[in-house]
């Protein structure tokens, strides 16, 4: 009985620290749990989600960003660029090449997807893929750091993960 109470309390406290929920089994590692994690990240980065059942290593770690609520709840390309700037810096000045910014309809409404390529041919992360949208009316982004250029299957996997978020 006591162990049930303790485990319930523990799971509740874990849930409280997880900013988003997923239909998949996930674990969240906050940047406050490992202070080195955000060394290269902007302030919008809040932590990394681990997808328990995902076999591909690239797709099993997802960086999570939360943006300040500016009252806007409908995604469009300009708003997407604002959020991309909060993740990557000024898009016309940075080394990464952000491209293919598209707005599509997901389960949460208008959602933005983009790709950031590293021009360094030997880069360990040649491509980053990001999806930005609203979860519970709050703006979030999920970002995947890929060790190889993405295939249509990988891109689909990423969109499916966004669709699993609540």
- The reply on whether position 144 binds other proteins by CB under 8 A is no
Quote the least distance from Cβ 5 to other proteins, whole Å. Answer: 25
- The reply on whether position 118 binds other proteins by CB under 8 A is yes
- The reply on whether position 66 binds other proteins by CB under 8 A is no
- 3-class state of residue 97 by DSSP: strand
Is 33:46 a contact under the CB 8 Å cutoff? no
Q: Which of residues 108 and 146 has its CB atom nearest to other proteins in the complex?
A: 146
Q: Which stretch binds other proteins (CB under 8 A): 14-22, 65-73, 92-100, 102-110?
A: 92-100
Q: Which of residues 95 and 136 has its CB atom nearest to other proteins in the complex?
A: 95
Cα gap 67→1, rounded to integer Å: 41
Quote the least distance from Cβ 86 to other proteins, whole Å. Answer: 9
- The reply on whether position 29 binds other proteins by CB under 8 A is yes
- The reply on whether position 58 binds other proteins by CB under 8 A is yes
Is 115:99 a contact under the CB 8 Å cutoff? yes
Element (H, E) at 98: strand 97-106
Quote the least distance from Cβ 29 to other proteins, whole Å. Answer: 6
Cβ-in-10-Å burial (0-12, 13-18, 19+) of 93 comes to: exposed
Q: Which of residues 9 and 56 has its CB atom nearest to other proteins in the complex?
A: 56
Q: Give 105-147 as a DSSP string.
A: EETTEEEEEEEEE---TT-S--EEEEEEEEETTEEEEEEEEES
Instruction: List residues binding other proteins (CB under 8 A).
Output: 27, 29, 34-37, 39-43, 48, 50, 56-58, 60-61, 87-90, 93-96, 118, 120, 123-125, 145, 147
């Amino acid at each position: 009985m006591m162990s049930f109470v303790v485990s319930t309390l523990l799971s509740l406290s874990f849930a409280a620290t997880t900013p988003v929920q997923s239909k998949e089994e996930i674990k969240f590692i906050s940047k406050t749990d490992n202070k080195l994690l955000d060394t290269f990240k902007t302030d919008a980065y809040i932590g990394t989600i681990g997808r328990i059942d995902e076999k591909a290593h690239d797709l099993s770690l997802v960086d999570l960003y939360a943006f300040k609520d500016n009252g806007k709840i409908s995604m469009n390309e300009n708003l997407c660029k604002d959020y991309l700037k909060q993740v990557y810096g000024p898009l016309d000045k940075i080394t990464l090449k952000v491209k293919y910014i598209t707005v599509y309809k997901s389960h949460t409404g208008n959602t933005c997807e983009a790709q950031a390529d590293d021009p360094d041919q030997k880069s360990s992360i040649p491509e980053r893929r990001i999806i930005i949208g609203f979860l519970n009316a709050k703006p979030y982004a999920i970002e995947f750091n890929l060790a190889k250029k993405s295939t249509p299957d990988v891109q689909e996997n990423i969109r499916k993960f966004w669709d699993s978020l609540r």
